[in-house]
Structure 1
Amino acid sequence: MLEPSSQPQDYLTSLTKPPPAPPPTKPNRFPSLISSRPALRVTSEFDSDSRVFFHKVSCKLFDDLAKLKLSFVNSVKREISEPLLALTSKHLSIHYDPEEQNALIKSSFDVGPKLHFKAAHDVKAKLGEVAMIANLADPGYAVELSSPVPYVGLPKATIRFPTGEVTLEEKEEEEEVPRKLLINGILKGPILNGVGAAHYTDEELKLRYSYKDGALSFIPCISLPSNAVSFAFKRRFTLSDKLSYWYNFDSNGWSAVYKHTFDRDFKFKAGYDSEVRLGWASLWVGEENGKARTAPMKMKVQFMLQVPQDDIKSSALMFRVKKR
């Protein structure tokens, strides 16, 4: 017969419990930023008209704190040109051109809750610009002061409000003529069930009215003092069919575009431009304004047929392919 153990009960319980787990160690963030291998993303695009390839290689660095991108053009003769190296982050971006041996540096950050600073500098030209943007208490109101570097004259001032913006800027036309103050601005608001807009730039006023409902859009426009008049007309027949028409009264030039959407990734467009006397038709495989990564097989394709009115024999079929 076994005798009962003389050890206390707490001692026996401690023998059956697993040993305590060691305290968790904090990961060393710095080595992970160096040793982790970034994932490369390669995008290639071919244009049959210029017969060149556009390549872009990008990757994210430092746990997505920055992005490195290399882009260049490759001809059918395997000649590389227009290289561009860019390093971008939330507050700083550097674009370097190896052929020009020049860099463009941009920076932006918040100085306070409602104050934002941004700057740009061209290393080779030794020119830049600094700007300070202040957001006021009411939403939609802001004041921006910007000045070139080296400093020349008064800073450029822009006042933004919900219905537009006004810009005051000094401009020097000739050395002997004193600098004058230019006022440019945009003003827009609801008028007659539509939206009216006035653009004043370089002493030219452009008045534009836009009416739009579920099936019809009408956009007349007049420029002063040139009195140039034009209008655009858009008609949607179904959810898939749409016709756009533009006419210029001064030159009697006009253009028309018909668009048929099969679904999100297939679109057909055809049009004519009287100024260049050219008819064309194009077919998009992949969303026209979307990215290649959202298209089927991560590839966008555009086929375009151009037919000159004066010389039909010189018609050309072109295509563009963008693969990611």
Structure 2
Amino acid sequence: MKLLTDLVSIPSPSGNTNEVITFVERFLSELKIETKRNRKGGLIATIEGKDQSRHRMLTAHVDTLGAMVKEIKSNGRLKIDLIGGFKFNSIEGEYCQIETSSCKKYTGTILMHQTSVHVYKDAGKAERNQENMEIRIDEKVHNADDIRALGIEVGDFVSFDPRVEITPSGFIKSRHLDDKASVALLLQLMKQIKTENITLPYTTHFLISNNEEIGYGGNSNITPETVEYLAVDMGAMGDGQSTDEYTVSICVKDASGPYHYGLRKNLVALAEENQIKYKLDIYPFYGSDASAAIRAGHDIVHGLIGPGIDSSHAFERTHQSSLENTAKLLFHYIQSELVL
């Protein structure tokens, strides 16, 4: 829980992830796990196994939704352009941080331009879109020149306050559980492997990708020896979905098509053999790093599992039991035989 809290508290919208990648790098360095960065800025950790001729790769992404400064408005506020797939209404009233190219940081709030009901008669009817929403900066500014004097310019990154909270009943409420919950799980898994001196059956790579929210985080740096590629990402909840906040979700199909049938059956068998609570599900408007790798042409067996997350790409929540069930399945999976 502490690790997850630390991760979601580090701003890392897609395109600006160096700080959180450095955090992960230091965590793994302390465990004496070999890592390297790829040119896109993602991090790859490798743990050698008995069989070095066939490899596994697991991935989770550390980049999050966010925004960029689109326009400096004459009223001293900022128009934004979204990073990732979400709607403007999900960030209305959210505290945020603007980071300039010189690394200065300013706070603000994302609001409708027509927020005050004492001034705007139809405030509740106005559309939540790029034209109507803006950032109110917590600085004494009156116009565009005042904004630029702070060093703020078009293209500066905007991150959202996660508002992370762990409740006595075991719920974790926070933005960016997609996919930092899974990153925390993989880091804990690697720590367990090292501290318990577990010998893996196959050399296993762990890719902490940093561009998943924009579609191409995990489709490179897959070794030719890699047979299985498992993405660890959130299970999406909603009407018609099986996924909940208490089990591990095993994806059978998303917008890219079915996941590998043999790997899916192996994951289900491992869950049943080890009394792990799981749900099978289809995510209709979803793509993962595993599906991105398939689209890129890699000849791999691909799968997708993860904790169930409520209100994805908005005010997210999961439960500790979902994390525990996902962790157990990952632990048994990395010690299992390949399906091919």
The interval holding the TM-score normalised by the smaller chain is: under 0.3
TM-score (norm 1): 0.21
Higher helix proportion (structure 1 or 2):
2
TM-score (norm 2): 0.20
Higher strand proportion (structure 1 or 2):
1
Return the structure number with greater relative CO, CA threshold 8 A, min gap 6.
2
**Higher Cα Rg: structure 1 or 2?**
1
